[in-house]
């Protein structure tokens, strides 16, 4: 039972890294970016290509996945996202879903549609037992990385200068500009950070969720559930939501496999009925 | 006036010649509409079959029974609505004599009414739910059925000291087919079976495998669509089930030749029952694999390829038998009872059910040199689809 809790936490952690980037762009920048999964997929494919074609070790390819997705984020933010900031949410949805389809078709064309497989280093394979709880090395590794990220992000947004400037820019861009905060650069950096996190999540997730060109569509629903349930204004919200949903999904499938796929949706509906603005919403002004 | 009439006459003569010409050509050509998922999640199926069909035509020429076979390839992306529409267009506009391909069960099922109405033979080269051939009297199959591959596994497991089995299958037609046919047969022999079904879009196998590891069965019987097999095998090993002495058994989809090498050593030791392995030991297969790999560098033929190869051969043989008469009833009649030595071994199209009768092999995944192969070590000869055989 505890083993399954552990598996659920690992799964939730990956969901968190995948989705927190989205809560950064969607929550902080108020931009509905459904193409988030495409950045995650990019990170995944960068890892796959580096490992398969260049024979790079898994660990070395993780930062590369982050950087590649972040870079793509910067470029796209400059070229196509910025003009969309002022548009309505519906326009943003249409625009970003278009990007998703382009990413899916493009990846399919470039790299084929089959599932991508990577070989983990031996020390990340297998599992050990602590008091009868089976702990997979890879899952432990994922929990470690993601936990560290969660703490760093929370600290970064709450305590650093970058964080307070960003919060100021989000709340009132005009005043922030007036105070000499470089709002555009701040937004570009934030967007890159969100995209990079998605890329890292995609890379970490290959082993747990698989990777093929339909990835952004297949997991869009999961990112959105995490962000919706968690609320978009903090990092702790999506973190707890991802944990809750990851554990509930895995537990549900374990305890009642007949209904397994629906538990996550049921939970989402219940949580949203109770807290329509998400778990940790700031009061809307 | 005279000028206009001359021009008009010229036009008419030209038009007449064109019609006659195309009519003369139409007599020569027999069109085959090949509908495959060439993009989307099941594109590997499409690629394998297309390569095999091309290989067959390259080896045997396109002319059979005095007619030239012309293949029109269409991509349905694995979507049943698209398959149905494409099939309709092929029949109505292109006047195809045969429909072929069909990567997945719903795609084959959606096309069945068209085959029946238009009296056009529908050759199923991949989809493997047992009931497909019952959907239309014009369907013949050259792939396999899941009960056909799964039931021999029940016999093998029981006679090799396996007493209780946990089954994990994907929750859709073929998965349910595999689960019920295996479980029924294995329980009848005296074994106990516990089952879970995994949703088709399932990201993580951890919860299901955890149940398996707690149940401590002698063996885990698995069916998942072939692409997902790699992930399943890895998590099976990650959970330490192989070390706990749980045997991995099932029909051969999970250790598909197409992706076997990418899976790595986690696949070693899996015991599966299936109708085709690239390592099948016969001269016909060695020649087939060699030609296939030469024509498609970097690809290894899998069970989909052999289904496409034999499907094309079935069409060619039927055309030969009717002396080039491509009417649907004649063709399907000629297909019933057709029999030859395929790369997978001897096969026959059952005259009663139009489904394939073939050997099923018990195989073990092993490393040969640096490559992984499914090595056959026992043969169950001439297996009919057990679901229809019981009716």
What pLDDT is attached to residue A239?
87
CB atoms within 10 A of CB A83: 9
pLDDT of residue B13 exceeding 60: no
Residue-wise pLDDT for A65-113, tens only, equals 999 999 998 998 888 888 888 888 899 889 989 999 999 888 888 887 7
Q: Of the candidates B202, B210, B264, which has its C-beta nearest A3's C-beta?
A: B210
Residue-wise pLDDT for B365-377, tens only, equals 999 988 999 999 9
What number of CA atoms fall less than 13 Å from residue B161's CA on the CB side? 3
Between B86 and A22, where is the model more confident?
Answer: B86
Name which of B39, B78, B207 to mutate to probe chain A: the one with the most chain A Cβ atoms within 10 A of its Cβ.
B207
CA distances for B255 relative to B148, B247, B263, B296, B375, angstroms: 17, 14, 9, 21, 11
C-alpha–C-alpha distance, residues B288 and B282, integer Å: 10
pLDDT of residue A126 exceeding 80: no
The residues pairing with B18 across neighbouring beta strands, listed in sequence order, are none
CB within 8 Å: B228 and A3: no
Quick check: A208 contacting B, CB < 8 Å?
Answer: yes
Nearest CA in chain B to A4: B207
Arithmetic mean of pLDDT, A20-42: 82
Å between A223 CA and nearest CA of chain B = 13
Q: Which of A94, A38, A98, A91 is nearest to A69 (CA)?
A: A38
Which of the four pLDDT bands, split at 50, 70 and 90, describes residue B70?
very high
Which of the four pLDDT bands, split at 50, 70 and 90, describes residue A155?
confident
Quick check: B299 contacting A, CB < 8 Å?
Answer: no
pLDDT of residue A245 exceeding 70: yes
C-alpha–C-alpha distance, residues B93 and A175, integer Å: 65
Residue-wise pLDDT for B274-288, tens only, equals 999 999 999 999 999
pLDDT of residue A186 exceeding 90: no
Å between B42 CA and nearest CA of chain A = 8
Judged by average pLDDT, the poorest of A26-35, A76-85, B35-44, B148-157 is: A26-35
Nearest CA in chain A to B228: A115
B 243-272 → A contacts, CB under 8 A: 258-259, 262-264
Which of the four pLDDT bands, split at 50, 70 and 90, describes residue A229?
confident
Å between A64 CA and nearest CA of chain B = 22
Helix axes A2-22, B206-215, angle to 10 degrees: 180
Let me know how many helices (H) and strands (E) chain B has, helices first: 13, 15
CB within 8 Å: B203 and A219: yes
Q: Of the candidates B41, B206, B263, which has its C-beta nearest A212's C-beta?
A: B41
What pLDDT is attached to residue B1?
47
Nearest CA in chain B to A210: B231
Cα–chain center distance at B89: 23
What three-state secondary structure class fits B235? helix
Arithmetic mean of pLDDT, B245-273: 88
Percent pLDDT > 90 in chain B is: 64
Q: Which sign, positive or negative, has the C-alpha torsion B285, B286, B291, B292?
A: positive
Q: Of the candidates B199, B208, B228, which has its C-beta nearest A115's C-beta?
A: B228
pLDDT of residue B23 exceeding 50: no
Quick check: B298 contacting A, CB < 8 Å?
Answer: no
What pLDDT is attached to residue A260?
67
Residue-wise pLDDT for B118-172, tens only, equals 999 999 999 989 899 999 999 999 999 999 999 999 999 999 999 999 999 988 8
Å between B107 CA and nearest CA of chain A = 19
Arithmetic mean of pLDDT, B49-77: 93
Nearest CA in chain B to A251: B207
Q: Which of B346, B350, B317 is nearest to B334 (CA)?
A: B317
C-alpha–C-alpha distance, residues A87 and A76, integer Å: 16
What pLDDT is attached to residue A207?
82
Identify all chain A residues contacting B237, using CB atoms and an 8 Å cutoff. 125-126
CB within 8 Å: B197 and A113: no
pLDDT of residue B311 exceeding 70: yes
A176-215: buried (b, 16+ CB within 10 Å) or exposed (e) per residue?
beeeebebeebbbbbbbbbbbbbbbbbbbbbbbbbbbbbb
The average confidence (pLDDT) of chain A is 83
What pLDDT is attached to residue B18?
52
CB within 8 Å: A4 and B202: no
Arithmetic mean of pLDDT, A199-204: 90
Give chain B's radius of gyration (CA, Å): 23
Residues whose CB is less than 8 angstroms from the CB of residue B236 and which lie 6 or more positions away in sequence, other chains included: B205, B209, B220, B242, B248, B266
Which of the four pLDDT bands, split at 50, 70 and 90, describes residue A232?
low
Q: Of the candidates B198, B204, B238, which has its C-beta nearest A209's C-beta?
A: B204
Long-range contacts of A133-139 (CB under 8 A, 24+ apart): A133/A2, A133/A3, A133/A6, A134/A3, A134/A6, A134/B213, A134/B239, A134/B240, A135/A3, A135/A6, A136/A7, A136/A10, A136/B238, A136/B239, A138/A207, A138/B238, A139/A6, A139/A7, A139/A10, A139/A208
pLDDT of residue A129 exceeding 90: no
Cα–chain center distance at A144: 16
Nearest CA in chain B to A208: B204
Which of the four pLDDT bands, split at 50, 70 and 90, describes residue B81?
very high
Residue corresponding to tokens 């297309």: B50
Arithmetic mean of pLDDT, B29-36: 94
Identify all chain A residues contacting B198, using CB atoms and an 8 Å cutoff. 257
Arithmetic mean of pLDDT, A191-198: 89
Q: Of the candidates B207, B240, B264, which has its C-beta nearest A250's C-beta?
A: B207
Q: Decide: B302 and B48 in contact? Cβ < 8 Å.
A: yes
What are the residue ranges of helices labelled H in A112-182? 137-159, 161-171, 173-178
Residue-wise pLDDT for B195-214, tens only, equals 988 887 777 788 888 888 88
pLDDT of residue A56 exceeding 80: yes
Which of the four pLDDT bands, split at 50, 70 and 90, describes residue B26?
very low
Between B320 and B259, where is the model more confident?
Answer: B320
Residue-wise pLDDT for B208-245, tens only, equals 888 888 889 999 999 987 777 888 888 888 888 888 88
Quick check: B107 contacting A, CB < 8 Å?
Answer: no
Å between A62 CA and nearest CA of chain B = 19
ipTM: 0.75
Q: For residue B88, what is the enclosing H or E element?
A: helix B80-92
Name which of B224, B234, B246, B370 to mutate to probe chain A: the one with the most chain A Cβ atoms within 10 A of its Cβ.
B234
């Amino acid at each position: 039972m505890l083993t399954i809790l552990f598996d659920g936490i690992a799964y939730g952690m990956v969901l968190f890294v995948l989705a927190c980037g989205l809560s950064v762009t969607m929550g902080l920048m108020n931009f509905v970016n459904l193409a988030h999964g495409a950045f995650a997929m990019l990170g995944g494919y960068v890892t796959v290509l580096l490992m398969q074609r260049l024979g790079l070790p898994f660990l070395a390819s993780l930062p590369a996945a982050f950087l590649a997705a972040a870079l793509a984020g910067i470029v796209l933010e400059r070229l196509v996202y910025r003009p969309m900031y002022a548009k309505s949410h519906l326009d943003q949805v249409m625009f970003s879903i278009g990007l998703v389809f382009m990413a899916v078709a493009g990846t399919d064309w470039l790299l084929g549609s089959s599932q991508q497989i990577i070989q983990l280093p031996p020390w990340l394979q297998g599992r050990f037992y602590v008091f009868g709880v089976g702990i997979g090395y890879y899952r432990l590794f994922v929990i470690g990385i993601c936990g560290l990220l969660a703490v760093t992000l929370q600290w970064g947004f709450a305590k650093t200068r970058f964080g307070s400037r960003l919060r100021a820019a989000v709340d009132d861009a005009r005043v922030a500009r007036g105070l000499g905060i470089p709002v555009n650069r701040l937004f570009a950096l934030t967007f890159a950070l969100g995209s990079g996190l998605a890329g890292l999540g995609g890379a970490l997730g290959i082993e747990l969720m698989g990777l093929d060109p339909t990835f952004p569509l297949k997991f869009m629903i999961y990112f959105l559930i995490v962000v919706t349930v968690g609320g978009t204004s903090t990092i702790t919200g999506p973190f707890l939501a991802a944990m809750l949903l990851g554990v509930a999904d895995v537990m549900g499938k374990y305890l009642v496999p007949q209904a397994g796929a629906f538990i996550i949706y049921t939970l989402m509906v219940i949580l949203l009925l109770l807290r329509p603005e998400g778990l940790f919403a700031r009061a809307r002004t | 006036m005279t000028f206009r009439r001359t021009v008009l006459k010229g036009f008419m003569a030209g038009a007449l010649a064109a019609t006659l010409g195309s009519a003369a050509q139409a007599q020569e050509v027999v069109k085959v509409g090949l509908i495959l998922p060439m993009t989307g999640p099941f594109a590997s199926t499409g690629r394998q079959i297309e390569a095999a069909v091309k290989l067959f035509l390259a080896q045997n020429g396109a002319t059979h029974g005095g007619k030239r076979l012309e293949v029109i390839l269409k991509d349905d992306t694995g979507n049943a609505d698209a398959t149905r529409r494409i099939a309709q267009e092929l029949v109505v506009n292109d006047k195809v004599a045969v429909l072929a391909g069909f990567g997945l069960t719903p795609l084959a099922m959606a096309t069945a009414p068209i085959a029946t109405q238009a009296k056009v033979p529908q050759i199923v080269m991949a989809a493997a739910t047992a009931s497909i051939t019952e959907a239309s009297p014009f369907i013949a199959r050259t792939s396999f059925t899941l009960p056909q591959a799964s039931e021999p596994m029940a016999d093998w497991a029981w006679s090799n000291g396996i007493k209780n089995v946990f089954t994990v299958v994907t929750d859709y037609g073929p998965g349910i087919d595999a689960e019920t046919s295996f479980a029924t047969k294995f329980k009848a022999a005296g074994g106990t079976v516990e089952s879970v079904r995994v949703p088709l879009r399932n990201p993580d196998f951890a919860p299901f495998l955890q149940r398996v590891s707690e149940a401590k069965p002698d063996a885990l019987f698995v069916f998942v669509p072939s692409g997902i097999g790699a992930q399943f095998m890895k998590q099976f090993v990650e959970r330490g089930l192989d070390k706990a002495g749980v045997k991995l058994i099932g029909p051969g989809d999970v250790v598909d030749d197409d992706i076997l090498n990418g899976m790595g050593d986690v696949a070693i030791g899996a015991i599966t029952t299936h109708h085709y392995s690239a390592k099948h030991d016969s001269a016909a297969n060695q020649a087939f694999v060699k030609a296939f790999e030469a024509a498609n560098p970097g690809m290894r033929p899998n069970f989909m390829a052999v289904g496409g190869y034999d499907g094309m051969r079935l069409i060619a043989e039927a055309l030969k038998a009717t002396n080039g008469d491509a009417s649907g009833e004649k063709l399907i009649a000629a297909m019933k009872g057709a029999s030859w030595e395929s790369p997978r071994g001897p096969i026959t199209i059952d005259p009663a059910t139009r489904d394939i009768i073939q050997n099923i092999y018990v195989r073990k995944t092993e490393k040969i040199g640096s490559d992984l192969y499914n090595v056959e070590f026992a043969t169950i000869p001439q297996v009919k689809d057990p679901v229809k055989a019981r009716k």
